[in-house]
Structures are given as structure tokens and as C-alpha cells.
Structure 1
Amino acid sequence: MTEQENYLLDPVRRKTTIRSLVRYAMHEKRAIFLGLFLLILAVGAELTGPYIAKIIIDEHIVAIEKDWVEVESGGTVSYDGRRFAKSQDVPKSAIIGPISIVQSKAGYYFVPEQVVSGGERQVAGDTLTVTRGEETFRYAGVEKLTQGQVYDFYASDLKAIGWLSLFYIILLLIAAGLNWVQQILLQRSAHKIVKRMRLDVFSHLQRLPVRYFDQTPIGKIVSRVTNDTETIRDLYLGVLARVFSGIITMAGILVAMFFLDVRLGLVSLAIIPIVYFWIQLFQKLATENNFKVRALVADMNGQLNENIQTMPIIQSYAREAEVLAEFEQKNEENYQTRAKLLRLDALMSHNLSYFLKNLTLALLIWVVAGQSLTNGTFLSLGILYAYIDYVSRLFEPVTQIMNQLSPLQQALVSADRMFQLLDEKGEPVEQGRIPRFAGRVEFKDVGFSYEEGYPVLRQIEIEARPGATIALVGHTGSGKSSIMNLLMRFYDPSSGQLLIDGQDVTTLPKQAVRDHMGIVLQDPFLFTGTIRSNITLDNPLISEERVRQAIVAVGADRFIDRLPRGLDEPVIEKGATLSAGERQLISFARALAFDPAILVLDEATASVDSETEAMIQEALLTLTKGRTTFIIAHRLSTIKDADEIIVLDHGQIMERGTHDVLLSEKGIYAKMYALQSKRNLELKSS
């Protein structure tokens, strides 16, 4: 079963990922909770708008048709020598009788009695006819109002409309300010969370054993530290803010609908299961493709990293077309997968959201408004307007949430991949330190396997006294590098014991062991910086004098002193502006500046010319004094002076002794030496 299938079928794994994301978010909980509280206030201020509009419509625009009464004195409107007011503004004792102001196609009319609500209205002469379903109502004594008279009846409401409109504008400004502040808070929190997350990932990478890096492509690791954390940043920065905003807006709208009319609120609750199943369906269809996209991006990063590092080989063997075809296959698969997600988004988000919204509005107008106009079960125009507004607003956050489901799934998949990396068992950087080793190294019946059941070392017995030089030779795959990996504590023996100064290294802190070791690899790596920083690795304990002594000891001063800036000469990635020999000399100086008790030279002279090799050999005769030195060498001429030469074959020690002793035995070593000597003579003669 693939990693993708495991994630899709494992709800516990998804929950664990979400819990881990929440745990990181809790580091900024104060800012996040404050931002969400401000978001609630902003949403509340914005959602007040339709209710204010409802008040304006019901109480100040269409209210001209309701609740007017003739009064004995006072009132707010004078018409035909009589005084009129809204019933709620005067005591019942002052009321003479109800009247109505009715609007029809021809204008506004004064009716000397109360008129039924709803229905179809027609005015003929001084008679108003209202037809409502099968019922017909007639009212006599109707008088048409002039524009000035209509204004008189509206005058008290126009001022209220102005104040309510101003109040709404102020609320919008407050909502804008609250949204600005909450966005700043949430965005700042998102950046801090991802900053912490990247630091944790990078810190954890440094604690992972070498085994992990041997088994995992570097491009995939880089993808998790960069691309995946960037996707998670988008999750905190935009996705969650929009999802929370959408949920809060939906909740606020539903509350507002209940506040308008309980029946409408109950009808609106039917939307919740629809949205829920809609989201579940989308997640089911989108998760698999989102996981595949992240995996393909990681694969492309891995191939890109590999191709860049091996570009000279690719070009030398004219493999550009094949490499391009391989990359194009992954690129095309990534494109097709993203196209599926695009089609899914187009179908499930905007289009479906607009369809449901329009369907809801159509049903509302048909059922509620139609019944109100024909049967007299009146729903005020203000409530109808506000409800339509809220329904339109309700589907905006639904669409907003749907648009974030795909990024949300991508972020969860990226988070799952990143937390898998963080869950890899690391090696804590121990703070404990031990005194400098004397340098006695013993391998006692050591066996080792990278994979269980496939041993690469068997019954290794080595004893190196302090200050001795031990050389390891053998064909490729004989186990030389594996011994060095055990010595440097990159791996631990599968069986037997590795002792330093009589202490089992597995009982000592790894970093404490490495403090007293130095290593020079066959392919030296230089970091971006300066020659000085590559020698000291920014260790403040290494003085300028020690740096100088190290470069002089290995002969690196001969080229460093010729550089324009000397030790402060810039070094680009991998030291590409320096020759292989110069890079190797700097790596020698680095090892010596740290003054190790045990020195490991892994094919250290394989990349240098004969003149540089002779210079290094001369320096090593002095520098290895007082240090236990292990040398892996293919050039057997460089290890003639070793105290002991160990010949390995298929993970076992086949021969051991000094150079002269092994030659006299005429075994494997003697044959290897003779073969190399013959080859060297042929090269010199040619």
C-alpha cells in the first residue's frame, strides 16, 4: 500500500496531523484568539446592514401604508384640515379613528378607513378595490395625494432613514477597521508559526542519523523544508482565516435569520446538511489528487536536484533528451492531476454554489412571497428583502469555504509529510563532554548490517594504539567506508564492540565522541562563505593562530596567500572556483584546526595531483604524530609508512601487517600493489 493510500484510509493519521497543526498554532494563541474575536465583531457589524435595511423598509418606507390614525390635536401631518399621526406615537385616548395611505400603480391615495394588507389594488373614481385570492374588498371616499402631501406623510421617516444610513456607514467603517487589525494579527501569527516550524524541521534534520539521508533523496527532503512549509504557511495565512471567516459569517447569518423570523430560520437550517455533505464529497474526490500533486512535486524536486549535481555527466554522455523525457513525464502527470483538481473546483465550488443560491431564492419568492401576496399571510417587504440579502450573503462564505478546501487538503497533505519527517527518530545533541581521547581504538568481533540479513562487516578485529596509523585497503564494497562510519558514530555495530580508550562508544554521547575526531572525505565539501569560515566552521574557540598553523602545516598557504583577500577570499557553493587539490587542502586544514585525537582520511588524496599528494604526505608525517589515524586509500604508495595495513574483502579482514610484511606474503595486497606499480610505470612511459 502506498503512502498516499495509507493517508487516505487512516483517519487517525489525519487527526494526528490536525492536532499537530493546532499545537503549533497554540504558540500564537493570544494573537489568533484576539484576531478571531475581532473577526466576529467585524462580521457582526457587516451583518447588521440587512437588518438596518429591513427597519428602513418596514418602518420608514412601506410603513406609510400602516398604522395611521386621525387624532383630535397634535399629530405629525395635517391634511384636509385634520391631524394625523402613526398609532404608536399617540395615546389611544387621542385617536379618532384609523385611516390608510395606499399605493397603487397610479400613485398614493388617502383612504378614510383601514385597508386589508396584500392583494391586487385598483382605483376607479373614488373607490379602491382590493382582490386577494377569492376575496374582494371595496373602500369608498378615496382621495389621490399630491407629491407635496405624500412628502408630508413621509417627512418624519426621511430623517430616520438618513440617521440609519449614517449609522450603517459607520458600522461598515468599523468593520473595515476590525478586519484590517484582525488580518494583521492573523498574518503575523501565521508567519511566526511557520518560522518556528521551519526552524524545528531544520533543527530536527541536524539530529537525524546518517542512515536517513542515505535512504532518502535529498530533493524530497528539500521539498519538505521549502515547498511543504510554504503550503502550510498559506494554510495559516489565508486558508484558515477564510474558513473561520466563512464559518463565523454563516453562523451570524443563521442567527440573524432566526432573529428576523423563526420560520425562515428553521427553513435555513436545511442548508447545513447540504453544505456538510457537499464538503464531504468534495474532500473525498480532492484528497487523492492533492496528495498525488505533493508527491509529484517532491519527485520533480528530487530529479531536479540529482540532475543539477550530475549535469557534467549528463552532458558528457549526451543524455539530455532522456533526462528531459523523464522529467516531462512527471511534469505531464502533475499537469493532468492539477487539471482534474481544476475541473473539480469549477464544478463543486462557484457553479454549484451559485446554482444553490439561485434555487433557494427562487423557492423563497415562489413559496413565501407568493403566499403573502395571495393569501394574506403577510411577510413584510423589509423582512423579505433582509432574508434575500442574507441568503445571498450565506452562499458567499459557502463558496469561500469551498474554494479553500483544495488548498486546505494540499496543506494537510504537506503537513502530514512534514510531520512524518519530524516523527523520524532523531539523535539528541548531547551537551555532555568528555576529556580528549588518548586515541586507543579497538574493534572487537564487530559485525554490521545496513539492512538486517545483509551483513557488510563480519568479525572485524582491529587494535590501534594511540598515535598509530591504520590503513584500510580493499576493492569497492569490501567494507572500508563502513568501518569509518562506525568509527565516526554515524552507525553503531550490529554485534561486537567498538572501544575508544577502553570505553564502549555506544555508552558515550555521539557529539562528545565526534568532538575529538576529524575527517577528510574523498570529495571535500566547502560551504558558501570564506576560506576562513570553511576552516573554522565559525567555531569561536579556533584562534587566528591555529588557523594559520593549520594552513601552513598542509601547505595551503602557498595558494591562499596569493589570493586577493587571503583567508577572507569568498567561497561559492561547493568551492567551485577552487581546484580539487585546493579544496582538499582546505579540508585538511579544517580537520587539523580542530586538533582531533583521531583523524580519519577517507580517500583523502584521491582527488589531488602527484605534486599536491607529495606535499600532503610530507605534512601528514608530522601531523599524524600524537594522533591515531585511519586511512582509506586506493593509492597504495601513499600508505607505505602506515603502522598496520588491513586488507578487506567482502566485509572480512583477509590480511594485515606492514607494507613490507604484506609484500613478502605475496597475497592480495602484494597483487594489488604490483598491479598499481605496473600501471604507474606504463603511465610514466607513455
Structure 2
Amino acid sequence: MPKRIDTLKENRHLKRFYYTVDQAVEKPFNWQQMWRLLGYLKPYSKTYLPGAVIAMLVSTAVRLVVPILIGKVAIDQAIANEDSELLITLIIIVGVLYLLNYIGNFFRIKWVNILGQNVIYDLRQSLFSHVQHLSHRFFDKRSAGSILVRILNDINSLQELFTNGIINLLMDVVTLSAMIVILFVYSPQLAVAVLVILPIMFYISTKLRRNIRRSWQDVRIQQSRLNSHLNESIQGIRITQSFSQEKENAEYFEGLNFDTFESLRIATKKSAMFRPFVEMSNAIGTIILISFGSFLILNGNIDIGTFVTFAFYLGMFWEPISRLGQMYNQLLMAMAASERIFEFLDEKPNVKEKEDSIPLPDMKGQIEFDKVQFSYDDNRIALHEISLDINAGQTIALVGHTGSGKSTIANLISRFYDPTKGHVRIDGKDLRDVKLDHLRQQISVVLQDTFIFSGTIMENIRFGRPDASDNEVIEAAKVVGADEFIGRLANGYETEVEERGNILSAGERQLLSFARALLADPKILILDEATASIDTETEMKIQAALRRLLDGRTAIIIAHRLSTIRESDNIFVLENGEILENGSHDELMEQRGEYFELVKSQFQMLDAM
């Protein structure tokens, strides 16, 4: 073993095991699940699938007929009777049959590959679309890397099954069944002797399958962990370099890489046991054929043509057996992958839309929290039966220490989560009764760490309203003050911002998010620490823009920088999921309560600076 890997085995303390979601599932081979997987073939059951099956049957029939023609016709009739005319005719027939076999194989391979690629496309599209509609709780419990593995790696692992495996399985079963029948027709004694090895092979394969399947499950888990860390490392590369942790991060990656290497090595080693066993069975079958077949010829029980036919079939017999052995491994891999894929497909959104949900086409923006309690888990309650009313068009602010429940309130308004107890209503309608699309299309959220997609400035601003014209995009950018810096870029609004908007400063990304929110024309606007990444000068520039942005809309502002919420109609001060006090800025300052202390401490910090 290489020294580097050996060292890693001894230094297990380098590894951090915080991935708890992806666990190996020990279950019997689930044929119901396999039938469900094969159900993705249904859309092609009248096109590519029957064509591939017919082409397969043609090529299989040719392979089965040729040994009979050679053994029973060429040897026992043409050669034995010195009939050259029959022999020439037979040669022509065999040549035509092999041409037919070539045509059959060509179309089988072509149609099977088209079929397989379409199924993989449908399966990946189905999984991605389903994940898009899952609730935030789903993503809270899973890393991005583990989700990527299932959409990419696990589905890719099914490609061989759908492009070759299924048709090959059918072809091999038909071939084996037909050959066994033919062998028993020509010589039951020799057929029994040659096929005696099959029960032994079946017994050993069934003993190994559970162990092999668990090994391939472990491979998927290790790949998921490796991808998760890789995704995390790339996104956090600046922090890693800032703290000079490149070496430690590389050591940890090497530990995960070793685990992936080791799990794949073990799974491959176990899977590799099948083919040598098939080759050994082939050798035993050949010995039986030569010894017992010669005995039968000498005793006049079979003729030479039958022996030659058996020899041809024996050479053909173990090829599908070998492929079936590999096919079984392929099925085990597909089962391990499909378990993980269907786990996601069977995941139900925690936030469910009722079948009789009602539209909310003309939202006014009046919000009510009625004794709402919420917890992200069983250990800690985030909100304690809070009640608050926000009038349509009103601007309210939520302030408090980290973890006080401010962002939770914003998440409940967008219905990313449902309250554990109580009701959240907009315009008097419980959000559980409202269509999600109607709700979220009329709410815009601007976060502190805004997300910029790969693409142009124009495309990013237009994201919330794809049908907006270029002039509307430009006007929205001008209103929030983004047009100035966009005009300085090389290609203006057509500038490619790259992944996560890396070519832009934090303040510039935030201005784009303001423009995006304005263009979407929401009835409710949530600003979650939206000005935290903007310098004081830029903040002053967009205050007027914010007034335009907030005009006529219900706005919820979450801010630690209290200077940004002075003009709010109502300020709610939260602590440990409870509302301590509320009122306007002047009213709360007069009360000299928690809000007063927050303002006082913030001014003291500014004076100290």
C-alpha cells in the first residue's frame, strides 16, 4: 500500500464526520422498486423499445440457428454425404444470416442507446424538478454536494442499465432458454452433464449479492461526502486562504478521498469475483463436454454433428452467463442508486399546497400573526406564540439580537415554513389555504448575502420578472442607483457577472438585488439585513430609492443598523422568540426599554470607533 494512503489510515483524527443524512440502507432486493425504475421506459414502449426488442430477437435467432446448420446440416449431411452443392448453399445461407445479424445488431445498439439517453434525461429532469419544489427543511438537513451527487452521479450510474443492460438481459435470457431447450432436444444426457454447474453458480451468487449491494451503497455515500466537501471548499476558498488553512483542508480532503478510494476498491474487488467464477465454470463445462461427449460418441448415443453443435453452444452459453453475472452487479449498483434517487423523489414538501388552495390575485398586503409558535427542531422554540398585525402599505421593522426570531418571521410570511401552532394570514386568508405561486410571486426578499446568478446584469435584474422589457430593467436600476456603476462596466447591462457575481463588490451586488426586487413589483417587500453590506455613502444614496421602493408596499425591514429603520411605522423588538415591545422610533425611545438600550449601545460603539 502506498505510504501516503497508509499514513491516512493511521491519522483518522483528521476526518470530520458531520454528514448524517446519507446512510447505507440495508434492505432486501426490492423488485417493486426496480419495476418502478423500469417504469421510465413506458413513454418509449411504442417507439424505440419494440424496435430494439425486434432487432435483438432477429440477431439472437441468427446466432441460435447457425450452430445447428453447421453441426447437423454441414457435418452430418453435406460433409458426411460429400454433397458439395448443399455445402455451397449452406455457406451462402450462413453468409446471409450473418449479414442479417449485423443489421439487427446495428439497429439494436442504435435504438437502445437512444432509449437509454432519453430515460436518463427524463429521470434527471424529474428529480431536479421535484427537488426545486421541496421545502426549506429539506435543504436545511442536506449539503449541496450530497444533492448534486444524487442528481448527477447516481443517475449517471443508471446509464449502463438503460443503454445496454435491459436489452442485454432480455437477449441473454432468451438465448440461454433457447439453447437449453435445444441441448435437451438433441441429447438430454449430455445437456444435464454440461448444465450441472448452474445450481452451484446460482447458490454462490445469491450468497454474495447482499454484501456486494452494501458495498456499492457505501461507494455512493463516500462520493456524496467527497462532493459535499469539494463544493464547500470551492465556495469557501477565500476564507481558507485568509486563515492559511490550505494544508489542513487538503489533508481533510485526502482523508475523504481515501475513503472514496477504499470503498470503491472493496466494491470492485467483490464485484470482480463473478467473472473469474464464470470462467472457472466454463472450464469445468468444457472438460465435461469433451470427456462425457466423447464417451457418448464412442457408444453411438450421439453423432459428431451433435457434439459439434454442443461445442458451439457451449462457447455461446457461457458468454451470456458471464454477462448475466455482470448484469447482476449492474442491478445491485442500480438498486443502490435508485434507492437514493427515489428517497428524494418520495420526499414530500413540509409546506404542502392544498388541492383546493385559493388564488390570491390582488394582494393588498395586510399581514396577521395569530399566536404563532414555531421551532426548527424539537430542542429549541424559535417563536413563542407571538401575535402582530401589519397593515397594508405599512413599513415595520424587526430588531433584536441574533437568534431572536426576526428572520423566522420573514420565512413564515413567505411560507418557506409553516407555523407549529397558530396562523399566519395575509388579507385575512390563512397562508395554508393560498396557492404558493400566487403568494410568492407577490413577495420579494432582499437578503444580506444576495445571490447573483451566472449571466448578464440584465438577466439578473430580470430574474424575478422574465417578461420585463430592457427599458423596464434599466429604469429599475436607475431608481435604486445601480445604473451608475453598471454604466462603468465594459459591456454595461450585458456584462457577464460570472459565478455568484464575483466581479462585483458586495455593495454592487446588493444594489442589483434592490433593482431585481423593484422590477418584480411585489405587494410585500422583505429586507433582511439588506443594507448591511452597503457602505454609509452608498446607503445614503439609496435611502431615497428605498422610499420609492417601499411606496405603496407592505415592507418588513430586519436590521441591526438601527439608523435605517427610524422612519418605520412600527418597530417590533424581539428577544428569544418573543415580542418585548413595539412602537415608533420616538415612542420606543421615550419608553427607555430594550430598544433604547440597543440604540444607546450602537451609538457608543460608533463613538468608540
What TM-score, normalized to structure 1? 0.82
Aligned with residue 299 of structure 1, among 225, 232, 241: 225
Match of residue 67 from structure 2:
50
Equivalent positions of 1:185-584 (< 5 A) are 185-349=111-275, 351-373=276-298, 376-426=299-349, 427=352, 433-452=359-378, 454-537=380-463, 539-584=465-510
Please report how far the alpha carbon of residue 472 of structure 1 lies from its aligned counterpart in structure 2 after TM superposition: 0.7
Aligned residues of 2:21 and 2:141 also touching (Cα < 8 A): no
Match of residue 52 from structure 2:
35
C-alpha distance 295-402 of structure 1, shift in aligned 2 (>3 A): same
Equivalent positions of 1:639-658 (< 5 A) are 639-658=565-584
Please report how far the alpha carbon of residue 556 of structure 1 lies from its aligned counterpart in structure 2 after TM superposition: 0.7
Aligned residues of 2:383 and 2:576 also touching (Cα < 8 A): yes
Give the secondary structure class of the aligned counterpart of 1:653. strand
Give the secondary structure class of the aligned counterpart of 1:434. coil
C-alpha distance 295-367 of structure 1, shift in aligned 2 (>3 A): same
AA at the equivalent of 2:278: S
Aligned residues of 1:198 and 1:225 also touching (Cα < 8 A): yes
Aligned with residue 59 of structure 1, among 51, 58, 77: 77
For residues 240-277 of structure 1, what are the alpha-carbon distances to aligned partners after superposition, in whole Å with 9 as ceiling and x for unaligned? 23323322221232133134334334445534433432
AA at the equivalent of 1:677: F
Match of residue 11 from structure 2:
none
C-alpha distance 539-516 of structure 1, shift in aligned 2 (>3 A): closer
C-alpha distance 41-275 of structure 1, shift in aligned 2 (>3 A): farther
Query: Larger deviation: 17-26 or 585-594?
Result: 17-26
AA at the equivalent of 2:151: V
Aligned equivalents of 1:516, 1:409: Cα separation in 2: 47
Query: Larger deviation: 481-490 or 242-251?
Result: 242-251
Query: Larger deviation: 436-445 or 479-488?
Result: 436-445
* Counterpart check, 1:592 vs 2:518: yes
Runs of at least 5 residues in structure 2 that lack an aligned partner in the other structure: 1-19
Aligned equivalents of 1:647, 1:584: Cα separation in 2: 25
Give the secondary structure class of the aligned counterpart of 2:567. coil
Aligned with residue 21 of structure 1, among 31, 37, 49: 37
C-alpha distance 231-383 of structure 1, shift in aligned 2 (>3 A): same
C-alpha distance 428-254 of structure 1, shift in aligned 2 (>3 A): farther
Aligned residues of 1:294 and 1:410 also touching (Cα < 8 A): no
C-alpha distance 253-326 of structure 1, shift in aligned 2 (>3 A): same
Aligned with residue 606 of structure 1, among 532, 549, 556: 532
Query: Larger deviation: 547-556 or 273-282?
Result: 273-282
Aligned residues of 1:275 and 1:398 also touching (Cα < 8 A): no
For residues 413-472 of structure 1, what are the alpha-carbon distances to aligned partners after superposition, in whole Å with 9 as ceiling and x for unaligned? 111111110101145699964232222111121111112453110121221112211111
Give the secondary structure class of the aligned counterpart of 1:529. coil
Give the secondary structure class of the aligned counterpart of 2:530. coil
AA at the equivalent of 1:330: L
Query: Larger deviation: 615-624 or 586-595?
Result: 615-624
Aligned equivalents of 1:237, 1:547: Cα separation in 2: 46
Choose between structure 1 and 2: higher strand proportion: 1
Aligned residues of 2:226 and 2:256 also touching (Cα < 8 A): yes
Match of residue 8 from structure 1:
26
Aligned residues of 1:602 and 1:632 also touching (Cα < 8 A): yes
AA at the equivalent of 2:443: M
Match of residue 108 from structure 1:
none
What TM-score, normalized to structure 2? 0.91
For residues 95-136 of structure 1, what are the alpha-carbon distances to aligned partners after superposition, in whole Å with 9 as ceiling and x for unaligned? xxxxxxxxxxxxxxxxxxxxxxxxxxxxxxxxxxxxxxxxxx
Give the secondary structure class of the aligned counterpart of 2:416. coil
Match of residue 3 from structure 2:
none
Number of aligned residue pairs? 585
Please report how far the alpha carbon of residue 333 of structure 1 lies from its aligned counterpart in structure 2 after TM superposition: 2.0
Give the secondary structure class of the aligned counterpart of 2:203. helix
Give the secondary structure class of the aligned counterpart of 1:497. strand
Aligned residues of 2:567 and 2:585 also touching (Cα < 8 A): yes
Give the secondary structure class of the aligned counterpart of 1:283. helix
Give the secondary structure class of the aligned counterpart of 2:272. helix
AA at the equivalent of 2:432: T
C-alpha distance 429-216 of structure 1, shift in aligned 2 (>3 A): farther
Aligned equivalents of 1:209, 1:547: Cα separation in 2: 30
AA at the equivalent of 1:382: G
Match of residue 7 from structure 2:
none
Please report how far the alpha carbon of residue 411 of structure 1 lies from its aligned counterpart in structure 2 after TM superposition: 1.8
Please report how far the alpha carbon of residue 206 of structure 1 lies from its aligned counterpart in structure 2 after TM superposition: 1.5
Aligned equivalents of 1:452, 1:297: Cα separation in 2: 31
Aligned residues of 1:442 and 1:464 also touching (Cα < 8 A): yes
Give the secondary structure class of the aligned counterpart of 2:489. coil
Give the secondary structure class of the aligned counterpart of 1:405. helix
Give the secondary structure class of the aligned counterpart of 2:555. strand
Give the secondary structure class of the aligned counterpart of 1:456. strand
State the superposition RMSD in angstroms: 2.1
Query: Larger deviation: 450-459 or 515-524?
Result: 450-459
Aligned equivalents of 1:10, 1:357: Cα separation in 2: 30
AA at the equivalent of 2:336: V
Aligned equivalents of 1:618, 1:248: Cα separation in 2: 77
Aligned residues of 1:4 and 1:292 also touching (Cα < 8 A): no
Aligned equivalents of 2:170, 2:235: Cα separation in 1: 44
Please report how far the alpha carbon of residue 24 of structure 1 lies from its aligned counterpart in structure 2 after TM superposition: 0.8
For residues 35-85 of structure 1, what are the alpha-carbon distances to aligned partners after superposition, in whole Å with 9 as ceiling and x for unaligned? 123212211101222111112111233x25xxxxxxxxxxxxxxxxxxxxx
C-alpha distance 6-436 of structure 1, shift in aligned 2 (>3 A): same
